A and B are shown apart, each in its own frame.
Chain A
Amino acid sequence: MSDADPRYGAEVRARMASLAGAGRFAPSPDVAPGRAGDREHGAEVVLTCRVIAGRVEEARFQAFGCPHLVAAASWLTDRLRGAGREDLEHWDWREVADALAVPPAKFGRLLTLQDAVRAVAGNWPGAAASTV
């Protein structure tokens, strides 16, 4: 079904197949976590980023949601590599919407992802106490 299903583009299918970047870094002084959404509303994301010298060295995701959200979270773990705190503060969900050809009906799920990115920025090493 899913291979030929026009609702899901090639990048979404590839990400759902590999689930690249899935997982979570254990709490540590150099790890910035960010959580957004909740299951009752169908979308929940946790991002954890290992930060070295002010840049994201590696990112991981956990997600509960539709294939577009899961694939977008996976895509984001690649996109965030090398990003600084300011990049995360200004990251916009439209970037992944374009990259994954996410349909408008799912844009709300991507805002959850954006909220998680902002939460990571808020929990940047050396910033205020972790919220996750």
Chain B
Amino acid sequence: MPRAFTASGAVTSSSRTEHPAVLDACRQLEREGCAVTYLKPGVDGIVVPAQVEEALRSDTILVSLMHVNNEIGVVQDVAAIGRLCRSRGVLFHVDAAQGVGKLALDVERDCIDLLALTAHKVHGPKGVGALCVRREPRLGLVPLLHGGGQERGLRSGTLPTHQVVGMGAALRIAALEMAADAARITRLRERLWQGLAALPGVTLNGHPTRRVPGILSVSIDGVEGESLLYALPGLAVASGSACATSTGEPSYVLRALGRSDRLAQSTLRLSLGRFSTEADVERAIEAIVTAVSRLRAIAPGSGA
């Protein structure tokens, strides 16, 4: 969207812990001449409104912030930041991929001008998402794709009707189930955390309470990340971000929170969803505790 303004060197503010879908777009905007400010979250993963206010400049046109972090699950105060942006005449974009269907958002109340979401995070089909665009006053978006003029000229190309219908159905179910799902999944996540916290040397990543129900990120001292994942064959867990594991690099999100490279590499991201059960959680706790204890027992300094 800021492409229309790059000639004037306009500023976009974002967080260092955004998803690559946003960070890579920001870097492309920088290559095109747009200045971007990357805010550093606190050790709890939260970007506070005062940081955004301090970063705003007279030529800032856009602030982009994720609602829920995909790796550590913390929830940003998009309502306060939205009001701030609106009061300063700055457009506000929210990456709501992880939060949609799990936490309530109101684009009108929260002063959100642009909101991006994806279907597959709410049990919908992969390959389809949506960008909610404030209708009035018009934002003057510039299309990236040309040819056909679909979607009010913003994204040309024939729409995949089956995907769109699937996304709509998934979002409708998510809205109906959201309150019950949130309460139940939060209880499961708390039980999971309690079970893992019984191990020494386990650290919760992110704010302890401002969290989405279904994501738990823990760093486990004294074990090597690849061996830990190897030892958990029955669990679909990720070490750091699933989007970054192919690189072998420690998670940039965890590093932004001040975690050492070693601890970042021995981090597990555990995701819970609508179909997770108490039995699943108990099995996960037992498997992780057993694996960690076994690996620690063979590590130098274990006294074995």
Contact = CB atoms under 8 A, between A and B. Distances in A.
Interface of A: 1-3, 5, 8, 16, 19, 22-24, 35, 39-40, 42, 44-46, 61-67, 70
B230 A62 contact: no
Interface string B200-235: 000000000000000000000011101101111110
A40 B262 contact: yes
Interface in B270-304: 294, 297-302, 304
Contacts of A39: 262
B64 interface: no
Contact of A66 (B224, B297, B300, B302): B224
B69 interface: no
B241 interface: no
B298 A67 contact: no
Interface string B248-269: 0000000000001110010000
A98 to B, nearest CB: 21
B261 A40 contact: yes
Given A67-B227, A70-B227, A22 B304 contact: yes
Nearest to B221: A39
A24 B303 CA distance: 8
Contacts of A45: 300
Contacts, number: 59
B201 to A, nearest CB: 12
A77 B261 CA distance: 30
- The interface residues of chain A, by DSSP majority, are classed as mixed
B200 to A, nearest CB: 16
Nearest to A65: B224
B300 A62 contact: yes
Interface of B: 222-224, 226-227, 229-234, 260-262, 265, 294, 297-302, 304
Given A19-B298, A22-B297, A23-B298, 12 more contacts: A1-B230, A1-B232, A1-B233, A1-B234, A2-B230, A5-B230, A19-B294, A22-B304, A63-B298, A64-B222, A64-B223, A67-B226
20 contacts: A1-B233, A2-B233, A16-B227, A19-B298, A22-B298, A23-B304, A24-B304, A35-B300, A40-B261, A42-B224, A44-B299, A45-B300, A62-B298, A62-B300, A63-B299, A64-B299, A64-B300, A65-B227, A67-B227, A70-B227
B242 to A, nearest CB: 13
Contacts of B294: 19
B115 to A, nearest CB: 35
Given A42-B265, A64-B299, A66-B224, A3 B233 contact: yes
Contacts of B233: 1-3
Contacts of A8: 230
Nearest to B260: A40
Contacts of B297: 22
A43 B297 CA distance: 15
Nearest to A62: B300
B230 A46 contact: no
A129 to B, nearest CB: 20
A19 B298 CA distance: 8
